[in-house]
Amino acid sequence: MFDWIAFKCQTFSYNYAWNDYSKFLNSVPSKLAIAFPIIGYAIFFNDYMAGRFDFSSLTGQAKTHVLLGTEAKLRFAFIGLMLIALSNVLYKILRPKIMRFGESQLEFNQNVDDLFTFGQIRDFHLQIKNSSYDPWTPDGKYYHEEWEAFENDCVWEGLGQGERRINRTVFETEMSKRSFSEAKKRHASLVRSILRETYFRECRQKRLSLSICLSFALTGYFLVLSPSVDLTFAVLLDTFSGI
């Protein structure tokens, strides 16, 4: 039993990464919640709304709450929306930089294919091979000969070695135009391995910040949903008390 729990904890820790929670932290409700703290006071905390927020018509003028009164429901909803909005703002500020190019592996791969140059792919390769740590995934265990074959296919023959060092900007630009796209097609498996290893590694960075974002979001959703749950129990109690 303890071995199973330890295995599950290790698996969770290994896979705990930003991209698995991006849809939750950057969802449409999270984005819309940013507007509520701005207009929330005008909507929630005026006498007219407070007087209409007890839902007495749903419960036949009976008790409209189990644990939360009208004022508590308003405060829970307002604070919850603020926490959800804060979690979304922090997510956009604290997430790893690589997630700006894609909030999923597929989206990242597509954007890299459209936007990145050979130099940027080479930087990913160097980070994998020059790291003091072993690769995080089997994708990072490709052979150096595979990379050399890909690099050779990307070299633009119009400039010699010395000229490439002197005219680095020209070399990078012309190389991308001339042969990079064809080299990516011929070495698609290698490029995908580099991108998967890079994205997995980078999305595991700053995990304390991820935990903070999730804590705010989960607390916010709990507070927002609590009034609805309380009202549901009140309606059910009123309905079945008369049976």
SS (H, E, C) the chain: CHHHHHHHHHHHHHHCCHHHHHHHHCCHHHHHHCCHHHHHHHHHCCHHHHHHCCCCCCCCCCCCCCCCCHHHHHHHHHHHHHHHHHHHHHHHHHCCHHHHHCCCHHHHHHHHHHHCCHHHHHHHHHHHHCCCCCCCCHHHHCCHHHHHHHHHHHCCCCCCHHHHHHCHHHHHHHHHHHHHHHHHHHCHHHHHHHHHHHHHHHHCCCHHHHHHHHHHHHHHHHHHHHHHHHHHHHHHHHHHHCC
Residue 178 — very low, low, confident or very high, per pLDDT cuts 50/70/90?
low
pTM (two decimals): 0.72
Amino acid at 127: Q
> Is the confidence at residue 47, as pLDDT, over 60?
no
Burial group, residue 133, by CB count within 10 angstroms (0-12, 13-18, 19+): exposed
Lowest mean pLDDT among 123-137, 150-164, 165-179, 229-243: 165-179
Nearest to 109 by CA among 227, 22, 193: 193
Out of 66-70, 199-203, 214-218, least confident range = 66-70
Is the pLDDT score of 243 beyond 60?
A: no
- For residue range 138-164, what is the model confidence (pLDDT) as tens digits? 888 887 888 888 888 776 554 444 444
**Contact, 22 vs 108, CB < 8 A?**
no
Please check the confidence at residue 55 and state whether its pLDDT lies above 70: no
pLDDT tens digits, 103-120: 888 899 888 877 888 888
> Residue type for 112, please?
V
- Residue 216, CA atoms < 13 Å, CB-side half-sphere: 21
Q: Which residue has the higher pLDDT, 56 or 137?
A: 137
Does residue 131 have a pLDDT over 50? yes
The reported pLDDT for the residue numbered 235 is 65
Burial of residue 206 (CB within 10 Å: 0-12, 13-18, 19+) is middle
- Look at 158 and 3; give whichever has higher pLDDT: 3
Average pLDDT in the 216-230 region? Answer: 86
Distances (CA, A) of 164 to 82, 152, 160: 54, 14, 6
